Amino acid sequence: DDGGGGARGQSYVLGPKLTKKLASAGLFVVGSGAIGCELLKNLSAMGAATRPDRGGRITLTDMDTIEKSNLSRQLLFRDRDVGEFKSRAAKGAALRFNPRMHVEDHASKVGDDVPDGPFDGGLRGGG
């Protein structure tokens, strides 16, 4: 299994071990703005988080909603996404790139001042 998302060619460069590790990675992306969108696009192309049976998943959160002004610099979003939570629209776009990805989207705040939030102690490293 090459991890999907066009990862077969990448396996020749990175090797099958690292390619499989990417597919099984547990990743946490905070923010779905310009940088978060670019990161998510690249992760989907690399076949990251395509093996949920081995812990592969991307947890994505952003409390912000998409505004018309975002469309010129956040390339995963389209006119139809205006008003939608950025994390939800970014997840949808990433899954269109690579339907094998396992992505959980949230519109929750992250920080020490948010005890008992959805991320309080619930995340693990990619190992």
pLDDT at residue 6, rounded to an integer: 56
Asked whether the CA dihedral 13, 17, 18, 24 is positive or negative, the reply is positive
Centre a 10 Å sphere on the Cβ of residue 124 and count the other Cβ atoms it contains. 10
Question: What is the mean predicted confidence (pLDDT) over 76-86?
Answer: 97
Q: Which two tokens stand for residue 63?
A: 């409390």
Q: pLDDT per residue over 97-109, tens digit each?
A: 999 999 999 998 8
Q: Is this prediction's pTM over 0.85?
A: no
33, 72 Cβ separation under 8 angstroms: no
According to CATH, the topology of domain 25-106 is Rossmann fold (3.40.50)
Nearest to 101 by CA among 37, 51, 30: 51
Domain boundaries, the chain: 25-106
Helix axes 16-23, 7-14, angle to 10 degrees: 130
Instruction: Determine which of 6-10, 31-35, 37-41 has the lowest per-residue pLDDT on average.
Output: 6-10
